[in-house]
Amino acid sequence: MRLKITASTNKKMLIPFNYQYVLQAAIYNLIENASAEYSDFLHNTGFIDGNKHHKLFTFSKLIFSHYGKHRSGFSNVSEFVFYFSTPIEKSYENLVLGIFTNQKMRLKFLGKKYELEIILVETLPEINYKKTMKMVCLSPIAISTGETSEYYHKQHFADYMDSKERNIFIFNLKNNLLAKYNLVHHKEFAGNTDFEFSFDPNYIINKKGKISKLITFKDNIKIKAMEAPFKITAEPELIKIGYECGFGEKNSGGFGMAKVIENENEKNRGNNGFNKII
Protein backbone atom coordinates (compact mmCIF):
# COMPACT_ATOMS: atom_id res chain seq x y z
CA MET A 1 0.00 0.00 0.00
CA ARG A 2 1.49 3.27 -1.13
CA LEU A 3 0.56 6.94 -0.79
CA LYS A 4 1.74 10.10 -2.50
CA ILE A 5 1.35 13.10 -0.17
CA THR A 6 1.55 16.75 -1.23
CA ALA A 7 1.97 19.46 1.44
CA SER A 8 2.04 23.22 1.02
CA THR A 9 2.58 26.40 3.04
CA ASN A 10 2.49 30.14 2.38
CA LYS A 11 5.69 30.51 4.40
CA LYS A 12 8.93 29.91 2.49
CA MET A 13 11.01 27.21 4.15
CA LEU A 14 14.71 26.46 4.40
CA ILE A 15 14.96 22.68 4.60
CA PRO A 16 18.36 21.22 5.59
CA PHE A 17 19.94 18.58 3.38
CA ASN A 18 19.59 16.06 6.23
CA TYR A 19 15.85 16.27 6.95
CA GLN A 20 14.96 12.58 7.25
CA TYR A 21 14.62 12.53 11.05
CA VAL A 22 12.26 15.54 11.05
CA LEU A 23 10.11 13.97 8.33
CA GLN A 24 10.02 10.66 10.22
CA ALA A 25 8.81 12.52 13.34
CA ALA A 26 6.09 14.24 11.29
CA ILE A 27 4.87 10.85 10.02
CA TYR A 28 4.68 9.50 13.57
CA ASN A 29 2.74 12.65 14.57
CA LEU A 30 0.24 12.09 11.75
CA ILE A 31 -0.29 8.50 12.91
CA GLU A 32 -0.62 9.78 16.49
CA ASN A 33 -3.56 11.95 15.38
CA ALA A 34 -5.45 8.70 14.78
CA SER A 35 -3.95 6.52 17.53
CA ALA A 36 -1.38 7.66 20.08
CA GLU A 37 -1.09 4.07 21.28
CA TYR A 38 -0.26 2.70 17.82
CA SER A 39 2.18 5.54 17.09
CA ASP A 40 3.95 4.78 20.36
CA PHE A 41 4.06 1.05 19.49
CA LEU A 42 5.63 1.76 16.09
CA HIS A 43 8.13 4.27 17.45
CA ASN A 44 9.27 2.40 20.53
CA THR A 45 8.63 -1.30 19.81
CA GLY A 46 7.70 -2.15 16.25
CA PHE A 47 7.83 -5.68 14.87
CA ILE A 48 10.58 -7.66 16.58
CA ASP A 49 13.00 -10.03 14.86
CA GLY A 50 15.56 -11.22 17.41
CA ASN A 51 17.29 -8.09 18.65
CA LYS A 52 16.09 -6.00 15.68
CA HIS A 53 13.00 -3.83 15.70
CA HIS A 54 11.40 -3.27 12.27
CA LYS A 55 8.74 -0.62 11.67
CA LEU A 56 7.75 -2.13 8.29
CA PHE A 57 7.20 1.17 6.52
CA THR A 58 9.33 3.46 4.41
CA PHE A 59 9.16 6.88 2.84
CA SER A 60 10.88 8.71 0.01
CA LYS A 61 13.01 11.78 -0.24
CA LEU A 62 11.16 15.07 -0.52
CA ILE A 63 10.42 16.20 -4.05
CA PHE A 64 10.23 19.99 -4.47
CA SER A 65 8.34 21.80 -7.23
CA HIS A 66 10.59 24.86 -6.86
CA TYR A 67 13.60 25.49 -4.65
CA GLY A 68 16.90 27.29 -4.40
CA LYS A 69 20.22 26.11 -3.01
CA HIS A 70 21.66 27.47 0.22
CA ARG A 71 24.76 26.32 2.08
CA SER A 72 22.41 25.07 4.82
CA GLY A 73 19.96 23.26 2.57
CA PHE A 74 17.09 23.77 0.13
CA SER A 75 15.76 27.34 0.21
CA ASN A 76 12.47 29.03 -0.78
CA VAL A 77 10.47 25.79 -0.51
CA SER A 78 6.71 26.25 -0.22
CA GLU A 79 5.48 22.86 -1.44
CA PHE A 80 6.76 19.31 -1.56
CA VAL A 81 5.72 15.75 -2.34
CA PHE A 82 6.79 12.53 -0.66
CA TYR A 83 5.76 8.89 -0.85
CA PHE A 84 4.87 6.52 2.00
CA SER A 85 4.65 2.72 1.75
CA THR A 86 3.78 -0.15 4.07
CA PRO A 87 2.31 -3.68 3.85
CA ILE A 88 0.77 -3.29 7.32
CA GLU A 89 -2.89 -2.36 6.99
CA LYS A 90 -3.07 -0.83 10.48
CA SER A 91 -0.14 1.50 9.75
CA TYR A 92 -1.71 2.56 6.45
CA GLU A 93 -5.15 3.12 7.97
CA ASN A 94 -3.84 5.12 10.93
CA LEU A 95 -1.73 7.35 8.69
CA VAL A 96 -4.75 8.06 6.45
CA LEU A 97 -6.99 8.71 9.45
CA GLY A 98 -4.32 10.92 10.99
CA ILE A 99 -4.03 12.98 7.81
CA PHE A 100 -7.79 13.45 7.59
CA THR A 101 -8.04 14.53 11.23
CA ASN A 102 -6.97 18.08 10.38
CA GLN A 103 -4.89 17.83 7.19
CA LYS A 104 -1.96 19.62 8.85
CA MET A 105 1.69 18.62 8.98
CA ARG A 106 4.11 20.18 11.46
CA LEU A 107 7.84 20.36 10.87
CA LYS A 108 10.75 22.01 12.65
CA PHE A 109 13.84 22.83 10.61
CA LEU A 110 16.89 24.73 11.84
CA GLY A 111 15.03 26.02 14.88
CA LYS A 112 12.00 27.29 12.94
CA LYS A 113 8.54 25.73 13.12
CA TYR A 114 6.34 25.31 10.06
CA GLU A 115 2.73 24.21 9.68
CA LEU A 116 1.87 22.84 6.26
CA GLU A 117 -1.50 21.99 4.78
CA ILE A 118 -1.78 18.55 3.23
CA ILE A 119 -3.46 19.50 -0.03
CA LEU A 120 -3.40 16.18 -1.89
CA VAL A 121 -3.26 12.49 -1.01
CA GLU A 122 -3.14 9.87 -3.74
CA THR A 123 -2.98 6.08 -3.75
CA LEU A 124 -0.77 4.05 -6.04
CA PRO A 125 -2.36 0.96 -7.63
CA GLU A 126 -0.85 -2.45 -6.97
CA ILE A 127 1.89 -3.43 -9.38
CA ASN A 128 2.57 -6.77 -11.06
CA TYR A 129 5.62 -8.44 -9.51
CA LYS A 130 7.96 -10.51 -11.67
CA LYS A 131 11.06 -12.58 -10.88
CA THR A 132 13.31 -9.94 -12.46
CA MET A 133 12.50 -6.26 -12.09
CA LYS A 134 14.22 -2.94 -12.66
CA MET A 135 13.71 -0.21 -10.10
CA VAL A 136 15.02 3.22 -9.19
CA CYS A 137 15.64 4.50 -5.67
CA LEU A 138 13.26 7.06 -4.22
CA SER A 139 15.50 7.06 -1.16
CA PRO A 140 18.98 5.49 -0.79
CA ILE A 141 19.53 1.88 0.33
CA ALA A 142 21.50 1.26 3.54
CA ILE A 143 23.02 -2.09 4.51
CA SER A 144 25.08 -2.53 7.67
CA THR A 145 27.42 -5.13 9.11
CA GLY A 146 28.32 -5.57 12.74
CA GLU A 147 31.94 -5.28 13.80
CA THR A 148 32.12 -6.97 17.18
CA SER A 149 34.89 -7.53 19.70
CA GLU A 150 34.92 -8.51 23.37
CA TYR A 151 34.40 -4.87 24.30
CA TYR A 152 32.18 -3.24 21.68
CA HIS A 153 29.71 -3.61 18.83
CA LYS A 154 30.13 -1.12 16.00
CA GLN A 155 27.79 -0.66 13.05
CA HIS A 156 29.50 -0.38 9.69
CA PHE A 157 27.57 0.49 6.52
CA ALA A 158 28.60 -1.61 3.53
CA ASP A 159 29.76 0.14 0.37
CA TYR A 160 28.52 -1.55 -2.81
CA MET A 161 31.33 0.15 -4.76
CA ASP A 162 33.97 -1.57 -2.62
CA SER A 163 34.61 -4.96 -4.24
CA LYS A 164 35.41 -6.47 -0.82
CA GLU A 165 32.01 -5.40 0.53
CA ARG A 166 29.72 -5.91 -2.49
CA ASN A 167 28.89 -9.56 -1.78
CA ILE A 168 28.07 -8.85 1.86
CA PHE A 169 25.89 -5.91 0.74
CA ILE A 170 23.87 -8.26 -1.50
CA PHE A 171 23.86 -11.12 1.04
CA ASN A 172 22.56 -8.89 3.85
CA LEU A 173 20.03 -7.27 1.53
CA LYS A 174 18.58 -10.71 0.79
CA ASN A 175 18.52 -11.76 4.46
CA ASN A 176 16.84 -8.50 5.41
CA LEU A 177 14.04 -9.22 2.92
CA LEU A 178 13.62 -12.74 4.32
CA ALA A 179 13.40 -11.38 7.89
CA LYS A 180 10.77 -8.82 6.93
CA TYR A 181 8.80 -11.47 5.02
CA ASN A 182 8.69 -13.57 8.20
CA LEU A 183 7.36 -10.61 10.20
CA VAL A 184 4.72 -9.58 7.66
CA HIS A 185 3.41 -13.10 7.01
CA HIS A 186 4.10 -14.64 10.45
CA LYS A 187 5.94 -17.55 8.88
CA GLU A 188 9.27 -18.32 7.27
CA PHE A 189 9.64 -17.94 3.54
CA ALA A 190 9.32 -21.39 1.96
CA GLY A 191 10.08 -20.53 -1.65
CA ASN A 192 13.25 -20.44 -3.72
CA THR A 193 15.83 -18.17 -2.09
CA ASP A 194 18.04 -17.65 -5.16
CA PHE A 195 18.81 -13.96 -5.27
CA GLU A 196 20.58 -11.50 -7.57
CA PHE A 197 20.99 -7.77 -7.20
CA SER A 198 23.01 -5.18 -9.10
CA PHE A 199 23.06 -1.41 -9.44
CA ASP A 200 22.89 -0.17 -13.04
CA PRO A 201 26.46 -0.13 -14.41
CA ASN A 202 25.64 2.58 -16.98
CA TYR A 203 24.34 4.84 -14.22
CA ILE A 204 27.49 4.13 -12.21
CA ILE A 205 29.61 5.14 -15.22
CA ASN A 206 27.64 8.38 -15.64
CA LYS A 207 28.09 9.17 -11.95
CA LYS A 208 31.79 8.25 -12.08
CA GLY A 209 31.17 5.65 -9.38
CA LYS A 210 29.76 8.18 -6.92
CA ILE A 211 26.49 6.57 -5.87
CA SER A 212 26.94 6.68 -2.09
CA LYS A 213 25.20 9.20 0.16
CA LEU A 214 26.35 10.08 3.68
CA ILE A 215 23.32 11.21 5.64
CA THR A 216 23.32 12.64 9.14
CA PHE A 217 20.31 11.30 11.04
CA LYS A 218 19.19 12.78 14.37
CA ASP A 219 22.13 15.20 14.72
CA ASN A 220 25.06 12.81 14.98
CA ILE A 221 24.20 9.40 13.46
CA LYS A 222 26.03 8.96 10.16
CA ILE A 223 24.40 6.58 7.66
CA LYS A 224 26.13 5.64 4.43
CA ALA A 225 23.69 4.47 1.76
CA MET A 226 23.64 3.73 -1.98
CA GLU A 227 21.39 5.45 -4.51
CA ALA A 228 21.12 4.24 -8.11
CA PRO A 229 18.74 2.34 -10.40
CA PHE A 230 19.00 -1.41 -9.85
CA LYS A 231 17.95 -4.81 -11.14
CA ILE A 232 16.74 -7.49 -8.75
CA THR A 233 16.02 -11.17 -9.41
CA ALA A 234 14.16 -13.10 -6.70
CA GLU A 235 10.81 -14.68 -6.00
CA PRO A 236 8.07 -12.06 -6.57
CA GLU A 237 6.91 -12.37 -2.94
CA LEU A 238 10.32 -11.17 -1.73
CA ILE A 239 10.48 -8.31 -4.22
CA LYS A 240 7.03 -7.24 -3.02
CA ILE A 241 8.34 -7.09 0.56
CA GLY A 242 11.13 -4.75 -0.55
CA TYR A 243 8.76 -2.60 -2.57
CA GLU A 244 6.27 -2.22 0.30
CA CYS A 245 8.58 -2.17 3.35
CA GLY A 246 11.72 -0.77 1.73
CA PHE A 247 14.94 -2.44 0.63
CA GLY A 248 17.74 -2.74 3.17
CA GLU A 249 17.76 -1.16 6.61
CA LYS A 250 16.64 2.07 8.31
CA ASN A 251 13.48 2.07 6.18
CA SER A 252 11.40 4.00 8.72
CA GLY A 253 14.10 6.68 8.68
CA GLY A 254 13.55 7.31 4.98
CA PHE A 255 15.82 4.69 3.38
CA GLY A 256 15.28 1.98 0.78
CA MET A 257 12.16 3.14 -1.03
CA ALA A 258 12.07 2.30 -4.74
CA LYS A 259 9.73 2.45 -7.70
CA VAL A 260 9.47 0.30 -10.80
CA ILE A 261 11.11 1.53 -13.98
CA GLU A 262 8.55 1.21 -16.77
CA ASN A 263 10.91 2.68 -19.37
CA GLU A 264 14.39 4.19 -19.44
CA ASN A 265 13.07 7.76 -19.20
CA GLU A 266 11.63 6.98 -15.76
CA LYS A 267 15.04 6.56 -14.15
CA ASN A 268 15.15 10.23 -13.24
CA ARG A 269 11.53 11.35 -13.04
CA GLY A 270 8.56 10.70 -10.80
CA ASN A 271 5.66 8.29 -11.21
CA ASN A 272 2.34 9.91 -12.09
CA GLY A 273 0.22 6.75 -11.88
CA PHE A 274 -1.68 7.70 -8.71
CA ASN A 275 -5.36 7.83 -7.79
CA LYS A 276 -6.60 10.97 -6.06
CA ILE A 277 -8.37 10.46 -2.71
CA ILE A 278 -8.28 14.00 -1.29
The chain-wide mean pLDDT, for the chain, equals: 89
pLDDT attached to residue 270: 43
Report the C-alpha gap between 223 and 250 in whole angstroms: 9
Domain boundary (100, 123, 146) is at 123
Residue type, 114: Y
For residue 184, is it within any domain? yes
Q: Quote the domain boundaries for residue 207.
A: 132-269
Same domain, 145 and 263: yes
Same domain, 104 and 56: yes
pLDDT attached to residue 226: 97
Largest alpha-carbon pair distance within the chain? 55
> Is it the case that residue 278 has pLDDT exceeding 80?
no
The conformational region for residue 218 under phi > 0 = left, psi -120 to 50 = alpha, else beta, is left
* pLDDT tier at 212, thresholds 50, 70, 90: very high
Residue type, 150: E
pLDDT tens for each residue of 59-107:
999 999 888 888 888 999 999 999 999 999 999 899 999 999 889 999 9
For residue 274, is it within any domain? no
For residue 277, is it within any domain? no
Q: How far is CA 23 from CA 106, 109, 141, 150, 175, in A?
A: 9, 10, 17, 37, 27
Same domain, 162 and 76: no
What is the signed CA dihedral for 226, 232, 234, 238, rounded to 10 degrees? 50
Contacts of 14 (CB under 8 A, 6+ apart): 70, 72, 73, 74, 75, 76, 77, 109, 110, 112
> Is it the case that residue 54 has pLDDT exceeding 90?
no
For residue 276, is it within any domain? no
Contacts of 121 (CB under 8 A, 6+ apart): 3, 4, 5, 6, 96, 99, 276, 277, 278
pLDDT attached to residue 211: 96
For residue 209, is it within any domain? yes
Cβ burial of 187 (10 Å; 0-12, 13-18, 19+) is: exposed
Domain boundary (123, 140, 162) is at 123
The mean pLDDT of 173-195, rounded to a whole number, is 95
User: CATH no. for residue 164?
Assistant: 3.30.70.1900
Task: List the end-to-end C-alpha distance of the chain, in Å, as a whole number.
Answer: 16
Q: What is the pTM of this model?
A: 0.89
Q: Structurally, how many domains does the chain consist of?
A: 2
The conformational region for residue 254 under phi > 0 = left, psi -120 to 50 = alpha, else beta, is left
Query: How big is the CA angle at 37 (ends 247 and 182), to the nearest 5 degrees?
Result: 35
User: CATH no. for residue 91?
Assistant: 3.30.70.1890
Same domain, 69 and 137: no
- Closest by CA position to 269, among listed 240, 229, 209: 229
For residue 163, is it within any domain? yes
pLDDT tens for each residue of 239-255:
999 999 999 999 999 99
> Is it the case that residue 179 has pLDDT exceeding 60?
yes
Same domain, 50 and 89: yes
Domain boundary (95, 123, 151) is at 123
Report the C-alpha gap between 7 and 26 in whole angstroms: 12
Same domain, 98 and 65: yes
Say what percent of the chain tops pLDDT 70: 91
* pLDDT tier at 147, thresholds 50, 70, 90: low
Q: Which region among 88-102, 129-143, 166-180 has the lowest average model confidence (pLDDT)?
A: 88-102
Between 229 and 50, whose confidence is greater? 229
